[in-house]
Amino acid sequence: MSESNSFTDSDIKKVDPSKESVNSEKADVVYDAAFERRTMRYVDWRIIPILAMVYSFALIDRINLGAAHTAGMGVDLKLLTGNRFSIVSCLYFVPYTLLQLPGNLVLRYFGVRNWLTFIVLSWGAIQLSMGWVKSWGWLVLCRVLLGIFEASFFPSLLFIISTWYKRHEVHQRLSAFYLISVTAGGLSPILAYAFSLLKGRGGLAGWRWIFIIEGAITLFLGIVTWLFIPDFPDQNNFLTKEQTALVLRRIDEDRGDAIPDPITFEKVKKHLKDWTLWAYGTMFLCAAMPSYAQSFFLPIILNGMGWSQTASLLLSAPPYGPSIVTTMIVAYFSDKQKHRCGYIVVCVVVCLVGLCLTAFAKQNPVRYFGAFLTNAGNSGAIPTILAYASNNVVSHSKRSVQTALTVSLGGIGGILATTVFRAQDYPHYIPGLGATIGSQALLLTLLAATTLRFMWLNKSVRDGKRKEPLEDQPGFYYTL
């Protein structure tokens, strides 16, 4: 990191010896609006596309089993016997869930570039090797290793993004990040179909080429990660000293945690006792279930509706299209109004309608239309939940725990999605779709509980009935 164009930790400590004095030390510095807009626009272009691009292949590498299954893997590896496909899909999420918090806690210790490059190269190598597995047991091992190395990647990205922006700027950025990556993930069936056309090349089945090519792309993105991945604001090396000071000042004026606090075991234990962090994670779990269900099982469900293998793969992509517009509209107005819960409710209701159509409608075109509604509502809800959670925590240590816990519980949503959709329920998967519908009801219940609590706490502070500041930060109010 060049000392000439960025703040180092020591620079910050020299200027700002304590967290409480950041604003007072910088009060004499005035930045014009044009400089601020240029700086934040540069931050947007420097952070969001690179993170979304790399995460999109993390998502593709995670969800390409359904496409590979449809392209012949199920027959070749005898995954049609019993619940083998569900087992292969499910076991990925065990280490993925357990290792997210430890991975997030070591992010600063190893450094963003070192840690993220290591895990991207590692899971890329595993993905590549899946193209040569000879039995479903070896496929299980590869999926477990994939879960180990991917575990801390997504929460690390959420952690990084949330440290760069004010609370009511973060939703649009999270939505843009999520949509770029999910849209790329939505192209996974089309990519899989294109790669499967290499069937016979090198004496390999078409589904093997899916893993080989996508693994090779991931390895290339590991190099991109090393060269371009952004760091935390106080450690960045792509802004000038003045730009870095502006970013840190904006964060401190908004929530007072620009300077990271040390992460200790006692702090982690304290944060884990906050039930709202578990509520955020469970809401994300519920939102993850429809997402994973569509990713893993939509090509199989469409195949069960009577479409051919090729049509099932190609028709799995269009439901991701309309969600791009609806999700960005939700993010824009949610940030503008500084409001989250109402938009989550609307998105979840749309998702529920879509799930019910896919589960219970008699006509296949109507069931297929349900996939569009499911994805539109679900894609709008996920970044809004992430913004809702991010907006209501203060300090780097708590944010580190919150992002890891939220995403790790989301991994349990993946486990549930892969286990409730059972082979014996093919082709309609009514029990799995029913469980997914129930998860949305639980999501709405938890959202009501946290929002009512935040409303009461905000009112207590405004009425002078509560002396302690919320989240130990004077002037802080929860975002509803």
- Structural contact between residues 2 and 243, judged by C-beta atoms closer than 8 angstroms: no
Taking CA 329 as the corner, what is the angle to CA 328 and CA 335, rounded to the nearest 5 degrees? Answer: 85
Give the pLDDT confidence score for residue 186 in this predicted structure: 67
Query: For residues 377 and 363, what is the distance between their CA atoms, to the nearest angstrom?
Result: 21
**Whole-number Cα distances in Å, 104 to 126, 234, 309, 353:** 21, 17, 40, 36
Q: Where are the alpha helices (DSSP H) in 229-264?
A: 241-254
> Is the four-CA dihedral 29, 30, 33, 38 of positive or negative sign?
negative
Query: For residues 381 and 416, what is the distance between their CA atoms, to the nearest angstrom?
Result: 19
**Whole-number Cα distances in Å, 320 to 259, 283, 345:** 38, 21, 20
Q: What phi and psi, each to the nearest 5 degrees, are found at residue 81?
A: -80, 120
Q: Where are the alpha helices (DSSP H) in 256-320?
A: 265-272, 275-304, 309-315
Query: For residues 54 and 156, what is the distance between their CA atoms, to the nearest angstrom?
Result: 12
- Structural contact between residues 430 and 443, judged by C-beta atoms closer than 8 angstroms: no
Low pLDDT (below 50) residues in the chain: 1-28
Give the pLDDT confidence score for residue 31 in this predicted structure: 65
- Judge residue 94's burial from the number of C-beta atoms within 10 Å of its C-beta, 0-12 exposed, 13-18 middle, 19 or more buried: middle
What is the dihedral angle through the alpha carbons of 26, 28, 31, 33, rounded to the nearest 10 degrees?
Answer: 110
DSSP helix/strand/coil, 197: coil
The whole-model pTM stands at: 0.79
pLDDT single digits (tens) 47-97:
998 888 888 888 888 778 877 888 888 888 888 887 888 888 888 888 988
- Structural contact between residues 221 and 52, judged by C-beta atoms closer than 8 angstroms: no
Cα–Cα nearest to 74, from 314, 312, 295, 300: 300
- Structural contact between residues 392 and 74, judged by C-beta atoms closer than 8 angstroms: no
**Whole-number Cα distances in Å, 417 to 112, 401, 444:** 31, 24, 19
Give the pLDDT confidence score for residue 414 in this predicted structure: 77
Tokens of 459: 């009112």
Count CA atoms within 13 Å of residue 389 on its CB side. Answer: 32
Give the pLDDT confidence score for residue 149 in this predicted structure: 94
pLDDT single digits (tens) 240-251:
999 999 999 999
Cα–Cα nearest to 230, from 299, 281, 157: 157
Q: What phi and psi, each to the nearest 5 degrees, are found at residue 201?
A: -65, 130
Tokens of 288: 């993850």
- Domains of the chain by range and CATH? 30-253 (1.20.1250.20), 261-466+474-479 (1.20.1250.20)
Give the pLDDT confidence score for residue 18 in this predicted structure: 42
Tokens of 73: 């893997």
